[in-house]
Structure 1
């Protein structure tokens, strides 16, 4: 595998450090099938959850990591390993990423970036000395985002770099500590925030993203299908903003170049929504599916702006919270051949 460096690039398994909320991985590739209770016809599911917990069950912890990819420009997906958080030092450690210092990421205290609680941003060292001569060696720009719920039962981490011409090496993980009890009937609404990293294919570069987010679940419908609950899941990502590495809001500038390229007059990054379909939620509380965003072209027609996927897991005795990651990509931004937003979210039932 070759990747070319812009100025000079990682799968994920998490290991524990002392203190804090370390991720704990039950490694392997799971299929995450449930046991739907209804009989009758339906849409058979061929869902395959990301790598992680081998035999998921509703009443136990679940860990997932970014799937590896052989797609052009994405062969660095799922490369980061041994991610761990140490609360005693407020540092992250990440393995298997070239030129990210000594694998220890320190907290970024830029106010405009870190004000989006419950998230924290970490960055690798900019330089590391030659181990023999002490001569400083410039490192590649790596950032990590860590999100944890107030209960501490759900968490995620994302690592990306903008140092390569292609998307580069990185990955994400998310985890539920403990189990979940899924309602048999009724509906639930979860709200909160997302925060992510936006990298580029074709030019390199890295930006931060943030947004409001909500997920609604109908536990009554759709009817169950074989091996999978039928529950309908809706999701919405709105009020999306983009920041440079110094914390400056560059959303208007990004929109300006997109509008000029598409001959449109968008005043905001388009909302992203989940595709509503049967079979996205299983009995273990794992949710995964597709999502898209759209814009209106100069002829008044809806056009696809981004496409991608979301990955999440429910937690709690009353299905109290949900944690996960979404990955959206667009070719409509003229700054690169592809622009990707990898964002994590921690949402609480309202």
Structure 2
């Protein structure tokens, strides 16, 4: 594994990983974490994928549970989390395979406990050496977790700002049942968006919130051409919960020499090959500032029936986009966000 440059110096020590568990199991009504989704019968480790979909469920069908993970790339630090799990009784979140993130479950963040319906968790700040009883400082990691009110879809994102390059982390999103795809008509889905923004060329971590809208033309679904979407009304917050959107907009306006009333929307590119017959979707998205492409990246999503048999009633998805950090030379930013939308 490639060595990575740390923002802060850490005393050497050993660390146990944070817990085991099934992908995203558990629920919490206060944070839109509805019902227990059950147990995944497939692998929870990344696999080689023969398509553009992220690794995960090897042989998906319209009626099956589907779990997708961020593709693993050790040099980029992506796809490193394993078997995340939510403990509803204790309101804690388990993450495995991230070094120096404590040896206990992540607890609800004591400064920013939620981003709308998305719950926020943080790792322990210190660990004790069991032999010397010496305190070992840990790297700050944040986890965002959300599940739809039906319990049929959920997601988790984990990132850290403890490295000068992008830190180690990952995302998982899943459908806990099946989907019945309509053959005609169109549908629009609306809901919330939240995520984490980390940096390459500088340490640090920020939160983002927003609104998500996805529209599907089912008559063209077999050709994969009938999906559009937008992430709008984005706001940025530091780890203390301070809204830093206006500072960000000022830097963006100076970079593009234009006036902006809001952070540019992220818009899905509509085209063939976006969706498949299992209800999975993946494609590109971007934002535009002053007529130029500002952010670009990919979206990944799954369509699901509701808990009461409502056909094709909700969508879970994750987006990852990158861009230059406005006002700071030589620094790029990566925004990893998730959305839960329903009809």
TM-score range with shorter-chain normalisation?
Answer: 0.7 to 0.9
- Do the aligned partners of residues 347 and 26 (structure 1) sit closer, same or farther apart at CA in structure 2, a change above 3 Å counting? same
C-alpha deviations, 1:62-116, integer Å up to 9, x for none? 000001237xxx62100111211111111111111111011510011435x6150
Alpha-carbon displacement from aligned partner over 1:40-64 (angstroms, at most 9, x marks no partner): xxxxxxx421110010000010000
Once residues 40 and 101 of structure 2 are traced to their aligned partners in structure 1, the CA distance between those partners, rounded to angstroms, is 22
Aligned to 1:89: 90
Does the aligned pair in 2 maintain the 1:199–1:207 contact within 8 Å? yes
The CA distance in 2 between the partners of 1:3 and 1:114, in whole Å, is: 30
Q: Would you say how many aligned residue pairs link Structure 1 and Structure 2?
A: 318
2:32: which partner in 1? none
Say whether the 8 Å CA contact 2:228–2:269 is kept in structure 1: yes
Aligned counterpart, 2:169: 170
Report whether the alignment pairs 1:271 with 2:270: no
Runs of 4+ in 1 over 3 A off after TM superposition: 16-25, 28-32
Q: Is the Cα–Cα contact under 8 Å of residues 256 and 289 in structure 2 kept in the other structure?
A: no
Deviation by residue 1:121-166 (Cα, 9 ceiling, x = unmatched): 0000111112212221111010000010000110000000000000
Contact 2:141–2:161 (CA<8 Å) still a contact in 1?
Answer: yes
**Match of residue 317 from structure 2:** 324
CA shift in 2, pair 1:17/1:50, >3 Å: closer
Tell me, yes or no, if structure 1 residue 15 matches structure 2 residue 14. Answer: no
Question: 2:31 maps to which residue?
Answer: none
Q: Is it true that 1:287 corresponds to 2:281 in the alignment?
A: yes
- For 2:26 and 2:149, locate their aligned partners in 1 and report how far apart those are by CA, in whole Å: 16
Determine the C-alpha separation between the residues in 1 that align with 2:115 and 2:197. 18
The alpha carbon displacement at 1:210 in A equals 0.4
Partner in structure 2 of residue 309 of structure 1: 298
Q: Secondary structure at the match of 1:220?
A: helix
1:246 alignment counterpart: 240
Aligned residues of 2:269 and 2:283 also touching (Cα < 8 A): yes
Mean Cα deviation higher: 149-158 or 259-268: 259-268
- 5+ residue gaps, structure 2: 11-16, 28-35
What is the CA–CA distance in structure 2 between the aligned matches of 1:333 and 1:69, rounded to whole Å? Answer: 26
**CA distance 1:120–1:248, change in 2 (3 Å):** same
- Whether 1:348 and 2:337 are equivalent positions in the alignment is no
**Aligned with 1:67: secondary structure?**
coil
Give the 3-state SS of the residue equivalent to 2:47 in structure 1.
coil
Structure 1 residue 24 corresponds to structure 2 residue 52: no
Q: For residues 51 and 25 of structure 1, do their structure 2 counterparts lie closer, same or farther at Cα, with a shift above 3 Å needed?
A: farther
User: Within 5 Å, which residues of 2 pair with 1:331-342?
Assistant: 331-335=324-328, 337-342=331-336
What's the CA shift for 1:256?
1.4
Structure 1 residue runs without a partner (length 5+): 33-46, 297-301
Identify if the C-alpha distance between structure 1 residues 148 and 53 changes in structure 2 by more than 3 Å, giving closer, same or farther: same
The answer for the alignment partner of 1:136 in structure 2 is 135
TM-score norm. by structure 2 comes to 0.87
The answer as to whether partners of 2:26 and 2:85 remain within 8 angstroms in 1 is no
Q: Is the 8 A contact 1:30 1:48 kept in 2?
A: no
The corresponding residue for 1:3 is 4
Verify the 8 A CA contact 1:238 1:270 in the aligned structure 2. Answer: yes
